[in-house]
Amino acid sequence: MRREPDIVVVGAGMVGAATAALLARAAPSIAITVLDADPPPQWGAGDQPGLRVSALSEASRRVLVACGAWGEIAAGRIGPYTQMRVWDGAIPAGGPGAVHFSAADIAAPVLGHIVENELVRLALRNALLRFDNVRLFDGARLASLVLDGERAELGTEDGRRLSARLVVGADGARSASREMAGLSVRGHDYEQRAVVCNIRCQLPHGETAWQRFLPTGPIALLPLADGQVSIVWSTTPAEAEALLAMDDETFRAAVAEASDGCLGQVLESGPRAAFPLRMRHAPDYTRGRFALVGDAAHTVHPLAGQGVNLGFLDAAALAEVVAAGLATGRDPGDPALLRRYERWRKPENFFAMRAFDAINRLFSNDNPAAGSVRRAGFTLVDRLAPLKGVFVRRAMGLEGDLPAAARSGVAA
Ligand SMILES: Cc1cc2nc3c(=O)[nH]c(=O)nc-3n(C[C@H](O)[C@H](O)[C@H](O)COP(=O)(O)OP(=O)(O)OC[C@H]3O[C@@H](n4cnc5c(N)ncnc54)[C@H](O)[C@@H]3O)c2cc1C
Per the structure, the count of domains in the chain is 1
Domain that holds residue 66: 7-187+280-408
Whole-model pTM: value is 0.95
* Closest ligand 1 atom number to CA of residue 295: 26
Ligand 1 atom 9 nearest Cα: 305
Q: In this predicted structure, which of 95-109, 175-189, 298-312 has the lowest mean pLDDT? A: 95-109
Q: Determine, yes or no, domain membership for 241.
A: no
Q: In b/e form, how buried is each residue of 312-351, taking b as 16+ CB within 10 angstroms?
A: bbbbbbbbbbbbebbeeeebbbbeebbebbbebbbebbee
| CA atoms of 113 and 208, how far apart (whole Å) | 10
For every residue of 293-314, DSSP letters joined together read -GGGTEE--GGGS-HHHHHHHH
Residue 34 in this model has a pLDDT that exceeds 70: yes
Residue 379 pLDDT grade (very low, low, confident, very high; cuts 50, 70, 90): confident
Amino acid at 361: R
Distance (angstroms) between ligand 1 centre and the Cα of 32 equals: 21
**pLDDT tens figures, 170-226:** 999 999 999 999 999 999 999 999 999 999 999 999 999 999 999 999 999 999 998
Q: Determine, yes or no, domain membership for 361.
A: yes
**pLDDT tens figures, 81-101:** 999 998 888 776 666 668 888
Residue 1 in this model has a pLDDT that exceeds 50: no
Identify whether the C-beta of residue 214 lies closer than 8 Å to the C-beta of residue 232: no
Query: How are beta strands 112-116 and 78-81 bridged, if at all?
Result: antiparallel
Q: How far is CA 292 from the centre of its chain?
A: 15
CA dihedral 284, 286, 287, 288 (to 10 degrees): -160
Distance (angstroms) between ligand 1 centre and the Cα of 177 equals: 15
Distance (angstroms) between ligand 1 centre and the Cα of 214 equals: 26
Share above pLDDT 70 across residues of the chain, in percent, rounded to a whole number: 95
**pLDDT tens figures, 62-83:** 999 999 999 999 999 999 999 9
> What is the rounded average pLDDT of the residues 256-277?
97
**Count of CB atoms situated within 10 Å of the CB of 219:** 25
Distance (angstroms) between ligand 1 centre and the Cα of 165 equals: 25
Residue 412 in this model has a pLDDT that exceeds 60: no
Identify whether the C-beta of residue 207 lies closer than 8 Å to the C-beta of residue 104: no
Q: In b/e form, how buried is each residue of 392-408, taking b as 16+ CB within 10 angstroms?
A: bbbbbbbeeebbbbbee
Specify the pLDDT at position 409.
64
Q: Determine, yes or no, domain membership for 236.
A: no
> What is the rounded average pLDDT of the residues 296-315?
94
Q: Determine, yes or no, domain membership for 313.
A: yes
Distance (angstroms) between ligand 1 centre and the Cα of 14 equals: 7
- Ligand 1 binding pocket, CB closer than 6 Å: 10-16, 35-38, 54-55, 141-142, 170-172, 176, 194, 196, 232, 275, 294-295, 302, 305-309, 311
Residue 149 pLDDT grade (very low, low, confident, very high; cuts 50, 70, 90): confident
DSSP helix/strand/coil, 279? strand
**pLDDT tens figures, 186-196:** 999 999 999 99
* Closest ligand 1 atom number to CA of residue 57: 11
Q: Determine, yes or no, domain membership for 18.
A: yes
> What is the rounded average pLDDT of the residues 301-305?
86
Q: Determine, yes or no, domain membership for 216.
A: no
| 234 vs 91 pLDDT, higher one | 234
Amino acid at 88: D
Q: Determine, yes or no, domain membership for 124.
A: yes
Q: Determine, yes or no, domain membership for 237.
A: no
Distance (angstroms) between ligand 1 centre and the Cα of 13 equals: 6
Specify the pLDDT at position 411.
59
* Closest ligand 1 atom number to CA of residue 234: 1
125: domain CATH number is: 3.50.50.60
As a whole number, the mean pLDDT across the chain is 92
Q: In this predicted structure, which of 51-60, 103-112, 252-261, 323-332 has the lowest mean pLDDT? A: 103-112
**Length, in residues, of the chain:** 412
Specify the pLDDT at position 298.
97
Find the helix or strand (DSSP H, E) in which 278 lies. strand 266-281
C-alpha triplet 139, 67, 294: angle, nearest 5°: 60
| CA atoms of 138 and 333, how far apart (whole Å) | 24
